[in-house]
Amino acid sequence: MAAVREALPASLATTFCGLPFASPIVLLSGCVGFGEEYTRIEGFSNRDCGALVLKGTTLQPRLGNPPHRVCETPMGMLNAIGLQNPGAQHVVSRILPELDFAETRFIANVSGSTIEEYVAVVRCFDDSPIDAMEINISCPNVKEGGVQFGNYPDMSARVVAACRAATAKPLITKLSPNQTDIRENARLCIEAGSDGLSVINTIMGMAIDIRTRRPVLGNVHGGLSGPAIKPIALLKVREVYAVAKPHGVPIIGQGGIVSANDALEFIIAGASAVGIGTALFYDPQCCRRINEGIAVYLAEHGLAGVAALVGTLDIASCPSAE
């Protein structure tokens, strides 16, 4: 008989886009497949997270990019998977029925090459038990669609507005750091109807094999994730928080989180939830450790919950305060 799993501390419970999360941790798209990849790892449980974002899904099946698709870098990882997936209808009809929606919240990641494709995928998930949808307008490892939409605020807003008209489910827009002004993009996406924001997606990068003088990745470039991008991600969360706070729009802060201290920094900067991705590849049990650290911090500082810590960064005393 399987051991009874202890419930997460009540202080970790939070609300994101009107959805109750048992923990502020969100497992990021592309890192846990369609919610079932880590179930074969002893001790891993979806109950350790508040939500899980499914792998990026397009309307039709995609084979993805040629190999190599992943490359380890100092303090990080490059990936160029290319949105390999079985298509939206397969996910809705074959995969979602196998998921335990009592364990955690499940968020679909909607991807596309055209606005029409985004809308079609949203409509597929609208008629499903999925809890919310993340609009992937900033995927750096496909040659069309994501990069174009995510790096131009006006185009980002057009995608969000079209998706908003196709569903009443919560929409979370994933913002790219590979743009001139992420704050303007956030503002326009909020005005277009985004209920939440994911900050940030991976940063464009590449690696070269000096023996062959060829790119390591088959797609030439890919998305850099892991601890190497954490300082950049923290700054972007802080910048977007200033835009999102007046509208009451919450943020999933992500980019290089591997410890409770990392997660706490993002929450203090303005994130209502924190995304864990690359860390899962070398420490599948890290969510439990991060949850424990957050709970201890909240207790030590007399805070009733995560919400009391969000956006509490003290910059008033800084010589060059905003």
DSSP class per residue in 86-105:
--HHHIIIIIGGGS-TTTSE
315 part of a folded domain: no
pLDDT digits (tens, 9 = 90+) for 287-305: 999 999 999 999 999 999 9
Q: Is the pLDDT of residue 320 over 80?
A: no
Res 201: pLDDT: 93
Peptide bond into 200 cis (omega under 30): yes
Q: Is the pLDDT of residue 106 over 80?
A: yes
Res 61: pLDDT: 98
Structural domain that includes position 197:
10-308
AA identity, residue 231: P
- Which CATH number is 127's domain given? 3.20.20.70
Res 142: pLDDT: 53
Spatial separation of the C-alpha atoms in residues 103 and 109, rounded to whole Å: 19
Res 125: pLDDT: 98
Res 316: pLDDT: 82
Q: Is the pLDDT of residue 4 over 60?
A: no
Choice among 5-19, 44-58, 131-145, 266-280 with the minimum mean pLDDT: 131-145
Number of domain units in the chain: 1
Q: CB-based contacts of 295: which residues, under 8 Å, 6+ apart?
A: 8, 9, 11, 12
317 part of a folded domain: no
Q: Is the pLDDT of residue 9 over 50?
A: yes
319 part of a folded domain: no
What is the token pair recorded at 110? 């909607």
Res 321: pLDDT: 54
Spatial separation of the C-alpha atoms in residues 252 and 273, rounded to whole Å: 5
Catalytic residue among 139, 163, 286, 287, which?
139
Quickly state the pLDDT bin for 113 (edges 50, 70, 90).
confident
Q: Is 139 annotated in the active site?
A: yes
322 part of a folded domain: no
Quickly state the pLDDT bin for 179 (edges 50, 70, 90).
confident
Q: What is the mean pLDDT of residues 260-276?
A: 98
314 part of a folded domain: no
pLDDT digits (tens, 9 = 90+) for 196-254: 999 999 999 999 999 999 999 999 999 999 999 999 999 999 999 999 999 999 999 99
Residue 192's nearest CA partner among 135, 235, 253 is 135
